[in-house]
Chain A
Amino acid sequence: MASVMLIGSSLQAQNDDVLVKITPDIPWLYVTHLGQKVKIGRIQDTTNRLTDDYTKTSRACPPFCIHPTKVNDKIKTIAEVEMAHFLKNRVNSGKGVVIDARLKSWYELETIPSAVNIPYTVMDSGTKNTAEKVFRLLGMKTGKDGKWDFSKAKELAVFDNGVWCDQSRRLIDGLLKYGYPAQKIVYYRDGFQGWKLLGLTTVVQKENVK
């Protein structure tokens, strides 16, 4: 509690020094990724532009088509500000997890800090058994009647490459198919491209270094 207060006060003190904040109240925030503390902030150079990755405008549609706002009537769609709050409040308290629905190769290349990778293929082509294993890790318990109890299960914020990417929808469909409650899932539609476009911190596991 004291440490939270301390962090809060230091944030307050340095708040005004940050030119590019995440929200007016949140200049940056901290999460952990693979046990490492990572500060999520935005690139402070106001002239910076994306140059290399995620500047690509066009991919063949189908399969890479522009997605509607909602992936599903039951699933709430969120944006970066909600993501920031989700990371700050839900992820750091252990109540929520950010889920990267992309293939492992994408995830290792670059992802949102703290994200856990559940490739959509796990639900798409996996069995109920695999789904159960994943769900248990996410906090699902088996009730006395043998039914799956999701009351303690984590809230999931699912994302993929962005508006042109179908991987979130596929994962969410799979999660729902095996019974994960819709009210515990949110869809971050802008996805990784939206994250990058705002200059937010990313984490890299496998770097292609020459």
Chain B
Amino acid sequence: MLKKRERIEDDFMSYGSEQEQPKKAASSGVLSKLIQFLLVVVLLGVVGFMGLFGYRYLQQNKTGDNTPLPVAKNPQSTVPATPVAAVAPQKSTTMPTGAQTIAAQNTNAPKQRMYTQEEMQEIVKMLMAQMQNGNMHKAPVTTPTQTEVQQSQEQTVKVSAQKAEKQDALVAALNLAEVDEIDDIEPEVSDNVKNVDSVKAKKIKNGKKVDHYNKVVVKKSANSYDDLANLSMQIGDIVSDMKTKKDKSSDYTSSIKKEVSTRVAEMRVVVVKSGDTLSKIAKRAYGKALEYPRILKANPDLIKNPNNIYVGQRLRVPMNDI
């Protein structure tokens, strides 16, 4: 045994020296070559595995923290698309550059993932609670979307397969599309507008509201007519007289009539009553409380804050999906 080891050591020492080779080769050439070969294989294997695991580790970090936000968002970071910079842009002022950035990214990466899981658990809990409570609470169905939206606004958008399943597909898509931030506009609705149901409701219930509809509902009341109203009514009479006498519908008239029925379906509204929630409204408009995403879709300003409904508000509830 001892001799053998000596030989191996000799082999090592004299590896590559051409003078020694012929002597040793005669006695233990096959064995030493085998061992050399094995060592090389083992070394290669170790290097290969390290490389592979290292690569995987990097890949995991990438998928965990990568965001779809544009790199240009943070001009201070020298590393392109640095996950930390994208996830927490408020840290960008204190952020180091170069190699230090990468170190910070590695230490912060697991924290970010933990946070996401907690968030996930919260959302699941809330969803469960809402499913149990049903329609008992005010605006129960709308709460998750709100938290989701807030969450995504705080941390910007994180693409995670699990989360995407839980999250409403529409809300996710809208988040990705970078929803506009509504600036606070001072309420400047004139007092002079009379008999305007929509504006009235907003003024009473929510003085800070901006009118997104700008539709005035007018009602016929003969005692307030002016010349223009009389003209309108008289011409209206002629028109309706004509209709009863003659109903000659040209091709164009019939196609424009079809268009108007489409529009009637698109324009349908719901007036928010006291105690209404989005799900109640969905039940009223579509027969199913779970159809509330259709209301969100038709009223995009509600997506940011679905609780932002108020009595007298007119919400669009189109018959056809838009």
State the A residues within 8 Å of B (CB).
14, 17-19, 28, 30, 32-39, 41-49, 51-53, 55-56, 59-60, 63-64, 91, 94, 97, 102-106, 109-110, 113-114, 116-119, 121-122, 124-126, 130, 133-134, 137-138, 161, 165-167, 170, 199-205, 207-210
Contacts and interface: CB of A to CB of B under 8 A. Distances in A.
B224 A35 contact: yes
A110 B225 CA distance: 19
A118 B263 CA distance: 20
A43 B214 contact: yes
Interface in B119-158: none
A44 B210 contact: yes
A11 to B, nearest CB: 10
Interface of B: 180-183, 185-186, 188, 190, 192-196, 210-221, 224-229, 231-236, 238-240, 242, 246, 248, 250-253, 255-257, 259-260, 262-271, 284-285, 298-301, 316-318, 322
Nearest to B236: A117
B228 A114 contact: yes
19 contacts: A19-B185, A30-B192, A34-B220, A34-B224, A35-B229, A38-B196, A39-B192, A43-B213, A52-B266, A91-B228, A103-B260, A113-B216, A118-B239, A119-B239, A126-B242, A137-B234, A166-B252, A202-B214, A207-B217
Given A19-B185, A39-B190, A200-B214, A105 B260 contact: yes
B253 A203 contact: no
B217 A104 contact: no
Given A36-B218, A63-B255, A134-B238, A210 B250 contact: no
A105 B218 CA distance: 15
B239 A209 contact: no
Given A39-B193, A94-B227, 11 more contacts: A17-B186, A30-B192, A36-B216, A38-B216, A46-B183, A53-B263, A103-B253, A116-B228, A134-B235, A167-B256, A210-B270
A38 B195 CA distance: 9
A117 B248 contact: no
A106 B216 CA distance: 16
A201 B232 CA distance: 19
Contacts of B267: 52-53, 109-110, 207-208
A138 to B, nearest CB: 8
Contact of B269 (A33, A60, A104, A209): A209
Contacts of A199: 214
B111 to A, nearest CB: 34
A137 B181 CA distance: 50
B215 A204 contact: yes
A13 B213 CA distance: 25
A19 B185 CA distance: 8
B216 A97 contact: no
Contacts of B217: 203-205, 207
Contacts of B263: 53, 106, 109
A34 B218 contact: yes
Contacts of A39: 190, 192-193
Contact of A49 (B224, B228, B240, B300): B300
Given A36-B224, A63-B255, A121-B253, A18 B264 contact: no
A94 B211 CA distance: 30
A193 to B, nearest CB: 11
Contact of A203 (B185, B215, B260, B298): B215
A44 B250 CA distance: 41
A36 B195 contact: yes
B316 to A, nearest CB: 5
A200 to B, nearest CB: 7
B180 A47 contact: yes
Given A36-B224, A208-B268, A14 B192 contact: no
